[in-house]
């Protein structure tokens, strides 16, 4: 049995498309979706950190899993090319919602 032909995909950037740099991602999940909030971390003093959130994105559980898979594959390829990525020992919070910075 033959596979159906893959559709042609056109990537079009809308007028409101923006790119930005984030060094913080907060994640929340519920039954219906995942919410990723991107921001910039600023350490204002040795004991104070401010996170300036600038974009929130909702994903379906299926898109969240697809994102996880593609990120996992890309991180693996990156580490093969450039070496292991070291994480801050504090890491993300251990609850259902987390902050990565």
Entry pTM: 0.74
Task: State the virtual CA torsion across 59, 63, 67, 73 in degrees, nearest 10.
Answer: 170
Q: Which three-class secondary structure string do you get for 49-94?
A: EEEEEEEEEEECHHHHHHHHHHHHHHHHHHHHHHCCCCCCCCCCCC
Asked if the structure places residue 4 within a domain, the reply is no
For residue 15, is it within any domain?
no
Task: Supply the pLDDT for residue 96.
Answer: 45
DSSP state of 30: -
- The token duo for 40 is 């910039």
Q: Is 58 a member of any domain? A: yes
Average pLDDT, the chain: 89
Number of structural domains (the chain) is 1
Within-domain flag for 77: yes
Q: Is residue 10 part of a domain?
A: no
């Amino acid at each position: 049995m033959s596979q159906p032909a893959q559709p042609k995909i056109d990537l079009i950037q809308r007028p409101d498309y923006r790119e930005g740099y984030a060094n913080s991602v907060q994640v929340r999940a519920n039954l219906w979706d995942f919410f990723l909030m991107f921001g910039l971390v600023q350490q204002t003093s040795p004991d104070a950190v401010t996170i300036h959130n600038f974009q929130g994105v909702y994903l379906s559980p299926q898109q969240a899993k697809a994102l996880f898979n593609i990120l996992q594959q890309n991180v693996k390829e990156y580490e093969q090319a450039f070496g292991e990525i070291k994480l801050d020992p504090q890491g993300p919070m251990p609850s259902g919602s987390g902050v990565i910075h």
